[in-house]
């Protein structure tokens, strides 16, 4: 993990305006005078795949805004298995539950190289009380978390294994950067696929292989696939 410090989260309006995710971040609506309320440092952290931002049950001391990369939220089941319950991308916030004095509900693990900002809980709590601009952003993020959970449950946890894998490809095609030609997405390990979709690793591997043989997806580089969206939509409805 590499670390650099952002002095009080603010180095002047020009720099903040140049941030590529300013409109998406938790502090998007704050004004310069709001940052005068911050008396603890906000850290910018670089994580490699496999690194953990926090573990389930840890004391909640900070929230995290994802600036780039991909982070999975993992819930561990009594039998020792795990389920991936959400994916966090650029602009998403992890650890909102700490604002209620709760421990972290999930483990947050990096899937793809990630740059995140660590926001001390006390800073966010104070700002949420003293400025309605942050309070509104927090409400938006609570709502977005509920919406994502609903979509995850209905889209990736129901139906046949084939339909679940197809819906995952479609979901990834929607959020990947636009490109010319057929959409191209980067898939995850078969273990992560199984944990996302609630199927065994073997089933996930078998379905992806079936999709490749049927021309529904075409693998280029390792784990990167070009997608036939019409075929995926048809399969998703099975």
Among candidate residues 104, 84, 83, the one with its CA nearest the CA of residue 95: 104
Mean pLDDT taken over the chain: 82
Model confidence pLDDT, tens digit, residues 63-122 = 998 988 999 999 988 888 889 999 998 888 899 999 899 999 999 999 999 999 888 888
Distance CA 219, CA 226 (A): 6
Instruction: Please give the structure tokens belonging to residue 224.
Output: 């990167």
Question: Which whole number is the average pLDDT over 129-146?
Answer: 78
Q: Which CATH class is domain 2-152?
A: mainly beta
Model confidence pLDDT, tens digit, residues 37-63 = 565 567 888 999 999 999 999 999 999
The distance from CA 58 to its chain's CA centroid, rounded to whole angstroms, is 19
Say if strands 93-94 and 2-6 run parallel, antiparallel, or are unpaired: unpaired
Other beta carbons less than 10 A from residue 115's beta carbon: 17
Query: Looking up tokens 């379905």, which residue turns up?
Result: 207
Asked whether residue 192 carries a pLDDT value surpassing 80, the answer given is yes
Q: How confident is the model at residue 12 (pLDDT cuts 50, 70, 90)?
A: very low
Look at residue 36 in the predicted model and tell me its pLDDT. Answer: 59
Look at residue 20 in the predicted model and tell me its pLDDT. Answer: 56
Helix %, strand %, coil % of the chain (to 5) = 40, 25, 30
Q: How confident is the model at residue 200 (pLDDT cuts 50, 70, 90)?
A: very high
Q: Is the pLDDT higher at 17 or at 83?
A: 83
Please tell me the pTM assigned to this model: 0.79
Q: Sketch the domain layout of the chain as residue ranges.
A: 2-152, 161-236
Other beta carbons less than 10 A from residue 150's beta carbon: 10
DSSP-derived letter for residue 89 is -
Asked whether residue 125 carries a pLDDT value surpassing 90, the answer given is no
Please name the CATH architecture into which domain 161-236 falls. Answer: Orthogonal Bundle (1.10)
Helices (H), the chain: 13-17, 121-130, 132-156, 161-175, 190-197, 201-213, 229-236
Distance CA 74, CA 82 (A): 7
With pLDDT > 90 as the criterion, what percentage of the chain qualifies? Answer: 43
Looking at the DSSP bridge assignments, the partners of residue 64 are 94, 118
Look at residue 10 in the predicted model and tell me its pLDDT. Answer: 40
Look at residue 14 in the predicted model and tell me its pLDDT. Answer: 27
Distance CA 58, CA 39 (A): 24
Radius of gyration of the chain (CA): 19
Q: How confident is the model at residue 182 (pLDDT cuts 50, 70, 90)?
A: low
């Amino acid at each position: 993990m590499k670390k650099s410090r952002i002095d009080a989260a603010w180095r002047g309006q020009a720099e903040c305006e140049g941030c590529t995710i300013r409109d998406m971040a938790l502090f998007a609506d704050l004004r310069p005078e709001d940052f005068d309320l911050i008396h603890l440092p906000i850290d910018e952290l670089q994580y490699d795949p496999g690194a953990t931002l926090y573990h389930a049950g840890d004391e909640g001391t900070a929230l995290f805004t994802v600036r780039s990369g991909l982070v999975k939220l993992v819930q561990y089941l009594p039998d020792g298995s795990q389920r991936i319950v959400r994916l966090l991308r650029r602009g998403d916030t992890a650890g909102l539950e700490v604002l209620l004095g709760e421990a972290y509900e999930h483990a947050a693990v990096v899937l793809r190289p990630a740059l995140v900002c660590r926001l001390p809980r006390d800073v966010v709590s104070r700002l949420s009380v003293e400025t309605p601009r942050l309070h509104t952003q927090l409400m938006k993020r609570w709502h977005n978390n509920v919406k994502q959970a609903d979509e995850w449950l209905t889209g990736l946890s129901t139906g046949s294994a084939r339909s679940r894998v197809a819906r995952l490809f479609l979901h990834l095609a929607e959020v990947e950067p636009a490109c010319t030609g057929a959409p191209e997405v980067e898939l995850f390990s078969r273990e992560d696929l199984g944990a996302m979709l609630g199927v065994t690793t073997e089933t996930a591997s078998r379905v992806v292989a079936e999709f490749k043989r049927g021309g529904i997806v075409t693998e280029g580089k390792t784990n990167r696939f070009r997608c036939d969206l019409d075929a995926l939509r048809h399969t998703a409805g099975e």
